[in-house]
Amino acid sequence: MPLVFVPTPLGNLRDVTLRALDTLRDADVIVAEDTRVARKLLAALGLPGRSIWSYREQNAASATAGILERARTALVAVTSDAGMPGISDPGCALVAAAREAGVEVEVLPGPSASLGLALLSGFPLERFAFEGFPPRSAGARRAAFARALEAGATTLWYESPQRIRGTLQDLAAVAPDAAVFLLREYTKMHEERLSGTPAEVAAALAESVRGEVAFAVAPYRAAERGEDADPNAFEDAIDALLASGHRVGDIRKALYARADARKAGAKQARKAADS
């Protein structure tokens, strides 16, 4: 029998697929990140009273063997609190363990906050990278942003509502004029979309941020490397800024300011080299 990964609705219950409903209905065991959330979801989908096992970061090491043993003889469905199991939770380790143990794995297509975020951002998606949650400390976050933005591709991030302001501040320290698109409570009643620089998006947030938060950053560093960059990257970055609501005048000012800063930096570097 297979171990089936079943995406669950991000917010709107009508986003559940027919195959997901069939699998959850037929499963002998449902493996859930949070059993309380799973029970509420299953009840809302008309599937109460199912056998639910816990599988989360804290117990993954001890729970894996039992889950795989059950999947050898029964249909086991793996779920997340919302969206695709295995994305930013320990589910990917369960896939690896199943393959090593010779247990068949299936993954059903379904809701994904990261892909919805990517498309809604309007940023170039010829290349993009899902970066997950930034590190918790400010220094590590800034380093992560600097590394990720050097690739010159759109980057996708998740963040907790408690840390999003600090995260945007750290992004501003690394890329103050980056184009950011923030998506909060995707598919839910109070969905919110914000665009602008990191500082502008932070200023537009409510004083008390709640719910699930994800944000995208448009290609950034490639536009600064000039002739060493992809020849289309500069135009892509401008297109991304326009798509996110920036005015032409604001883009022009930002480009002039960055050019002046780079000129001043190069001048200081030459002085230091000559001294």
- Could you tell me the pLDDT band of residue 257, with boundaries at 50, 70 and 90? low
Kindly state whether residues 102 and 120 are assigned to the same domain.
no
Question: What pLDDT digit, counting tens, does each position of 28-38 carry?
Answer: 999 999 999 99
User: pLDDT over 90 for what percent of the chain?
Assistant: 69
Range of the domain at 144: 113-263
Residue 268 belongs to some domain of the structure? no
Residue 202 belongs to some domain of the structure? yes
Question: What pLDDT digit, counting tens, does each position of 65-103 carry?
Answer: 999 999 999 999 999 999 999 887 778 889 999 999 999
Kindly state whether residues 34 and 132 are assigned to the same domain.
no
What is the per-residue pLDDT for 267? 53
CB 33 within 8 A of CB 79: yes
User: What's the domain count of the chain?
Assistant: 2
The more confident residue out of 231 and 46 is 46
pTM: 0.73
Kindly state whether residues 89 and 211 are assigned to the same domain.
no
Q: What CATH number does the domain containing 246 carry?
A: 3.30.950.10
Residue 274 belongs to some domain of the structure? no
User: What residue has token string 């933005």?
Assistant: 149
pLDDT surpasses 90 at 262: no
pLDDT surpasses 70 at 178: yes
DSSP SS3 for 77: strand
Kindly state whether residues 150 and 77 are assigned to the same domain.
no
The more confident residue out of 130 and 234 is 130
Residue 243 belongs to some domain of the structure? yes
What is the per-residue pLDDT for 243? 67
Kindly state whether residues 154 and 242 are assigned to the same domain.
yes
What is the per-residue pLDDT for 179? 96
Question: What pLDDT digit, counting tens, does each position of 131-145 carry?
Answer: 999 999 999 999 999
Kindly state whether residues 139 and 56 are assigned to the same domain.
no
Q: What CATH number does the domain containing 80 carry?
A: 3.40.1010.10
CB 90 within 8 A of CB 68: no
pLDDT surpasses 70 at 227: no
Mean pLDDT of the residues in the chain:
87
Boundary-marking domain end, from 107, 123, 151: 107
Average confidence (pLDDT) over 4-20: 94
Q: How far apart are CA 80 and CA 33, in angstroms?
A: 5
What is the per-residue pLDDT for 254? 65
What is the per-residue pLDDT for 242? 73
